[in-house]
Amino acid sequence: MAFTVALAGKGGTGKTTLAGLLVKYLIKHNKTPILAVDADANANFNEVLGVEVTGTLGAAREEMKKGRVPAGMTKDVFMSMKLEETLVETENFDLIVMGQPEGPGCYCAANTLLTGFLEKLTRNYPYIVMDNEAGMEHISRLTTKNVDLLLIVSDTSRRGLTAAARIHALADELNIGVGKSYLIVNQAKTGDVSALMDFVQDDGLELLGAVPEDDTVYDFDLHGKPTILLPDENPAVTAAFSLFDKVIR
């Protein structure tokens, strides 16, 4: 059974960058193949991984809902075909993009089909890395509900930490079967984040550690360079890897 890690956090905290570094970590430790899932409505996981995306599951779901299934093809065959078309394959990891949330109307049939196909797909991977938006609805509706590890990413701002606490509470409310949740403080200007402990502990979050602010990471993001290509000796990479060492089996 796959070991599933989901990352979530307020926009701008660098959670997608950390998701990419987790994929990098797993590759380095020969924990492949990996299924990378972009479950953020603002999909950009592919950019940090350095691959191009040509389609999303959300677009396939729209096609089926609007009756655009080719004549003579059943809906389940159509969705299976679309799932294969949207899967981006590389040597060590594959990527699938969920796409935009549903519009008005009922998506029950399409969601049911997608859930079934995704469950079959995930059986082929020992590790799954999911990049989520602040809300956890994609996990609840469209993907496996067994999340071994939830990494909630925040910066040192009060707004980021408040969002992290809300995500932690939301994961409990949705009953998605999270094995363990941790907070990672990203873009920290100092390695000492002990001042945040009272706030974190009050909301039941356990602090895993901090990843420092880094000019090279900023430069990669600014110029659109895949951050999965950051050198192993980069301070942010080494800090992230040390945190992953604690929780990845």
Q: What b/e sequence results for 111-137 when a residue is b if at least 16 CB atoms lie within 10 Å of its CB, and e otherwise? A: eebbeebbeebbeebebbbbbbbbbbb
What's residue 104's pLDDT? 59
Q: Average of pLDDT values for 50-62?
A: 86
Q: State the chain's mean pLDDT as an integer.
A: 85
What's residue 73's pLDDT? 87
What's the number of domains the chain is made of? 1
What's residue 142's pLDDT? 44
**Amino acid making up residue 243:** L
Q: Average of pLDDT values for 218-225?
A: 93
Residues of the domain holding 11: 3-247
Q: Could you report the per-residue pLDDT of 118-161, keeping only the tens digit for each?
A: 778 888 999 999 998 766 665 555 444 678 999 999 998 888 88
**% of the chain residues with pLDDT over 70:** 85
pLDDT interval class at 215 (50, 70, 90): very high
Q: Cβ distance 150 to 8 under 8 Å?
A: yes
Using H for helix, E for strand and C for coil, what is the string for 45-93? HHHHHCCCCCCCHHHHHHHHHCCCCCCCCCHHHHHHHHHHHHCEECCCE
What's residue 139's pLDDT? 59
Q: Average of pLDDT values for 207-233?
A: 95
Rounded Cα–Cα distance for residues 86 and 89 (Å)? 9
Q: Average of pLDDT values for 205-218?
A: 93
What's residue 95's pLDDT? 95
Q: Could you report the per-residue pLDDT of 74-87, keeping only the tens digit for each?
A: 888 887 888 888 89
Q: Cβ distance 210 to 184 under 8 Å?
A: yes
Report the CATH number that the domain containing residue 77 is assigned in CATH: 3.40.50.300
Rounded Cα–Cα distance for residues 184 and 106 (Å)? 37
For 102, counting Cβ atoms within 10 Å of its Cβ (0-12 exposed, 13-18 middle, 19+ buried), the class is: middle
Rounded Cα–Cα distance for residues 140 and 149 (Å)? 15
Sign of CA dihedral 231, 97, 178, 2: negative
Rounded Cα–Cα distance for residues 200 and 218 (Å)? 26
Q: Cβ distance 82 to 55 under 8 Å?
A: yes
Please check the confidence at residue 25 and state whether its pLDDT lies above 50.
yes
- Torsion-angle region of 227 (φ positive above 0: left; ψ -120 to 50: alpha; else: beta): alpha
Q: Average of pLDDT values for 42-64?
A: 87
Reading the block at residue 31, the tokens are 């924990």
